[in-house]
Amino acid sequence: MHANSLTTEQIRALIAKGKLKDAIFKVLGIFCLAVALLVIVLLVSDMVAKGSERFTVDFFLNFASRRATQAGILSAWVGSLLVMLVTALAAVPIGVAAGVYLEEYAKRNWITEIIEINITNLAAVPSIVYGLLALGIFVYQFGFGQSILSAGLTLALLILPIIIVSTREAIRAIPAMIREGSMAVGATRWQTCRYHIIPYAMPGILTGVIIGLARAIGETAPIITIGALTFIAFLPPVPYTTGADGVTAGMFDWVMSPFTVMPIQIFNWTSRPDPAFEVNAAAAGFVLMAMVLTMNGIAIYLRYKMRKNIKW
Amino acid sequence: MLNSKLVSALAVAGVALIGAQSAQAQVIKIDGSSTVYPITEAVAEEFQKAKKNAIKVTVGISGTGGGFKKFCRDETDISNASRPITKAEMDLCKTAGVEYIEMPVAFDALTVVVNPKNAFLKQATVAEMKALWEPAAQGKVMKWNQINPAWPDAPVKLFGAGADSGTFEYFTEAMVGKAKSSRGDYTASEDDNVLVQGVSRDVNAIGYFGYAYYAENTGKLKALPIVNPKTGKAVEPSAANVENGTYAPLSRPIFIYVKAKSLQKPEVKEFVEFYMKNGAALTKEVKYVPLPASAYTGNVEHIKKNKIGTVFGGHNEIGITIEDLMKREAKM
């Protein structure tokens, strides 16, 4: 059918039909978005409504207790933050370096292909499998025990594929001319990476890191497997301070400390006989969501700042 | 000596992290059953308060079996257990050279519950429970009137403990006659609150779990008196009926196992003595049935006389009363 064989009315009808479909899709899109948002709003408002009476300073500064009203999340949030610190310190350098290598250095051959397929597959391995691996290797083989170090490294393994993949995506988005231009003026491959590729890819890498860390902070299964605790009423030692037991801590003593994390604390509270603990669980759930939200916020801010510095 | 530091630098996959095996603070490590957890947690909380945090106590939940695995690998000082140590676990500990002192700390009453709106169930016998829960009932006993014609023609909704828990082991042994022998077509959960929710929402539901979960939810649940096979009388689960031994066969003792070697450390010894001194009051607070005072002093005696081992010989026993247990512990 050729357009010029149509009458004006027919063309109008065709346009109207197209516009109708447009409108239908728009409504459908808004509806889907609303469903997703509604779930989050319901979840958050439910947690706030249930847990609001626990949003006190004490809740953040108290250890777990058998009395719901006195129980707090001190050891849990400190544990979660420290584990995230170890995770980030381990996963970011390794993940970024691996991503840069695969994009910039590795030869295109079947070995690289296999490595790439495996990395993508690793991203889909259930987290409990990482927990089992870590129990064997970190906890027993390396003798790290049930420590912050073991947990941090386990979660680092878990999010490594996410960081590698996002690093590669970010590098691929950089136009080839940047690379070529750098090399054309005599820069080595390393100089190109150091001064161009990595800085320009940074916003994308950061997004990957934060998505990874946000996933890691909510993980429960691998942390339970390596033996995080349920009741722990003390914090890891602050470097170079002397605790109540008269022992002065070294610089890295905290990484070997026993710990608990937010998801485990929440899980424990939901499974207790006394229904009063449900309030604590809801409040802690909200705090955990706020932590994830803060991490995302930081990522958005950093991304915005870094993009401003990119000149092309 | 205490201040000497064994610092070993480890380059782990590009990140240099230092594991310092320094003079780590004294930590008493406890792990094991989720049933015993509330009591031990309460004791640990109070102990740390009393000691102004100079001694650190950690309590984990890996289940009775998981706890014994760590205990027999020499990783923990104390193991929480909702049943006596088994033969296999005794062998495991023996191979690793782990010796232990068994200490009963409380009694628990497994409670069979129904919906408060359930009008036809006033009590239950072991035979009825067996007919309902035995493996042969799977897919066959689906309606209440199949067990008792007087009961309504309504579907049975079953809620029970997950297969890894000591509760499941004890209930099946006491009711069906063989440990871990149960029908599989029921809602199973390790989280007893799931069971509480399930039974409280369905008129035709029946379920079982530890007494504490019933005691905290009496408004939502009705506990069934269980007919004592010896006396033929239906007995309600309650602290008094557990103490006098009439709530049988669903009363069970729960324990802590303390490593003999750890007891040589003053802080562990102090903790266990604190446990035995304050255990009764804290047990009541977390809704379990405390043992008579003589049981706790008896446990302390066992430490003094270093009475290693178990009085159960590696198997679980059904329907043991506090009195039985006391006699046995005394004879040891």
Whether residue B91 is contained in a domain is answered as: yes
Same domain assignment for residues B172 and B285: no
Question: CATH no. for residue B230?
Answer: 3.40.190.10
Across B327-331, average pLDDT: 81
Q: Are residues B88 and B202 in the same domain?
A: no
B275-316 pLDDT tens trace: 999 999 999 999 899 998 988 999 999 988 888 889 888 888
Residues of A near B (Cβ–Cβ under 8 Å) read 64-66, 86, 89-90, 93-94, 97, 142-144, 149, 153, 227-234, 237, 243-247, 249-253, 255-256, 258, 268, 270-275
**pLDDT reading at B232 higher than 60:** yes
For helices A74-100 and A277-309, the axis angle rounded to 10 degrees is 30
Residues of B in contact with A234 (CB under 8 A): 48, 53, 56
The token duo for A226 is 């390596």
pLDDT at B4 over 80: no
CB contact under 8 A, A244 and B14: no
Q: Quote the minimal CA–CA distance from A184 to chain B in Å.
A: 32
pLDDT tens column, A143-183: 998 899 999 999 999 999 999 999 999 999 999 999 999 99
Pair (B126, B102) in one structural domain: no
pLDDT exceeds 90 at position B164 = no
Give the tens place of pLDDT for each residue, B178-210.
888 999 999 998 788 889 999 999 999 999 999
- For tokens 């320009």, the residue is A200
Give me the pLDDT at residue A304, please.
Answer: 87
Task: Identify whether residues B209 and B140 lie together within a single domain.
Answer: yes
Nearest to residue B27, comparing CAs of A143, A239, A237?
Answer: A237
Tokens 């539901």 found at = B205
Q: Report chain B residues whose CB lies below 8 A from the CB of A271.
A: 34, 190-193
Alpha carbon A275 to its chain's center: 31
Q: Determine, for residues B42 and A66 on separate chains, whether the beta-carbon distance falls below 8 Å.
A: yes
CA distance A90 to chain B (A): 6
Is residue B303 situated within a structural domain?
yes
pLDDT in the model for residue B6:
31
pLDDT of residue A249: 77
Range name among A296-305, B16-25, B170-179 with the lowest pLDDT average: B16-25
Count CB neighbours of B127 within 10 A. 12
What is the band of A230 on the pLDDT scale with cuts at 50, 70, 90? confident
Residue B26 near residue B55, CB atoms below 8 Å: yes
Distance CA B31, CA B33 (A): 7
> Looking at the DSSP assignment, which residues form a beta bridge with residue B290?
B106
More confident residue, A243 or B121: B121
**pLDDT over 60 (residue B18):** no
Average pLDDT, integer, range B105-112 = 94
Counts of helices then strands in chain B (DSSP H, E): 11, 15
Question: What is the pLDDT, as a whole number, of residue A2?
Answer: 56
pLDDT band per the 50, 70, 90 thresholds, residue A289: very high
Q: Which residues are CB-neighbours of A171 under 8 A, at least 6 positions away?
A: A99, A100, A103, A104, A197, A201, A204
State the average pLDDT for chain B. 87
Poorest-confidence range of A46-50, A55-59, A243-247, B69-73? A243-247
Rounded Cα distance, B25 and A241, in Å: 12
DSSP state letters, chain A: --GGGS-HHHHHHHHHHHHHHHHHHHHHHHHHHHHHHHHHHHHHHHHHHHHGGG-SHHHHHPPP-SSTTT---HHHHHHHHHHHHHHHHHHHHHHHHHHHIIIIIS-SSHHHHHHHHHHHHHTTS-HHHHHHHHIIIIIIIS---SSHHHHHHHHHHHHHHHHHHHHHHHHHTS-HHHHHHHHHTT--HHHHIIIIIHHHHHHHHHHHHHHHHHHHHT--HHHHHHT--SEE-SPPPPTT-B-TTSPBP-TTGGGGS----HHHHHHHHHTSSSTTHHHHHHHHHHHHHHHHHHHHHHHHHHHHHHHHH---
**Last residue within a domain, chosen from B205, B236, B267:** B236
Kindly determine whether residue A89 and residue B217, on different chains, have CB atoms separated by under 8 Å.
no
What is the mean pLDDT of the segment spanning A286-308? 89
Which residues of chain B form beta strands (DSSP E)? Answer: 6-12, 15-21, 27-32, 56-59, 78-81, 100-109, 111-114, 157-161, 187-189, 205-209, 222-223, 226-227, 234-235, 251-259, 289-290
Q: Where is the domain boundary, B210, B236, B262?
A: B236
B119 and B192 belong to one structural domain: yes
Instruction: Looking at the structure, tell me whether residues B144 and B217 fall in a common domain.
Output: yes
Q: Are B135 and B222 within one domain? A: yes
In contact, B292 and B239? CB cutoff 8 Å: no
Asked if residue B249 belongs to a domain, the reply is no
Place of tokens 């878990």: A158
- Calculate mean pLDDT across residues A102-113: 91
Same domain flag for B123 and B196: yes
Say if residue B128's pLDDT is above 60. yes
Q: Who has greater pLDDT, A273 or B138?
A: B138
Smallest Cβ–Cβ distance between A255 and the set B17, B25, B44 belongs to B17
Instruction: Look at B17 and A252 and tell me if their CB atoms are within 8 Å.
Output: yes
- Is the pLDDT assigned to residue B16 strictly greater than 50? no
Q: Across the A/B interface, how many CB contacts are shorter than 8 Å?
A: 124
**B167 and B262, same structural domain?**
no
> What's the whole-number mean pLDDT along residues A192-198?
92
Domain boundary among B236, B263, B289: B236
* CA–CA separation, B164 and A207 (whole Å): 41
Tell me the mean pLDDT in the region A101-129: 91
Domain that holds residue B211: 111-236
Number of domains in chain B: 2
- Average pLDDT over every residue of B10-14: 33
Q: Show which of residues 21-40 on chain B sit within 8 Å of chain A, judged by CB atoms.
A: 21-27, 29, 31, 34, 37-38, 40
> Shortest CA distance to B217 belongs to which of B109, B117, B116, B119?
B116
Which stretch of A116-130, A226-240, B117-131, B227-241 has the lowest confidence by average pLDDT? Answer: A226-240
Of the candidates A85, A225, A87, the one whose C-alpha atom is nearest the C-alpha of residue A158 is A87
pLDDT at B21: 37
Instruction: Please tell me the predicted confidence (pLDDT) of residue B70.
Output: 92
User: Phi-psi bin for A255: left (phi > 0), alpha (psi -120 to 50), beta?
Assistant: alpha
Residue of B14, B53, B58 lying closest to A93 (CB–CB): B14
B149 and B219 assigned to the same domain: yes
Confidence check: pLDDT of B221 > 70: yes
Check whether B22 has a pLDDT greater than 50.
no
| Within a domain: B266 | yes
Instruction: Tell me the nearest-neighbour CA distance from A253 into chain B, angstroms.
Output: 6
Question: Residues B132, B85: one domain?
Answer: no
Find chain B residues with C-beta within 8 A of A275's C-beta: 216-217
Whether B123 and B181 map to the same domain: the answer is yes
Q: How far apart are CA B319 and CA B170, in angstroms?
A: 10
- Asked if residue A26 has pLDDT above 90, the reply is yes
Closest CA to A256 of B17, B56, B55, B262: B17
Closest alpha carbon within chain B to A90: B15
pLDDT at B2 over 70: no
C-alpha dihedral, B213 to B215 to B219 to B220, nearest 10°: 20
What per-residue confidence (pLDDT) applies to A238? 85
> 10 Å Cβ neighbour count for B39?
28
In a domain, B225, yes or no: yes
- pLDDT, averaged across chain A: 90
Determine the Cα–Cα distance for residues B302 and B104; give it in Å rounded to an integer. 11
Q: What is the pLDDT of residue B25?
A: 57
- Round to whole Å and give the CA distance between B266 and A273: 34
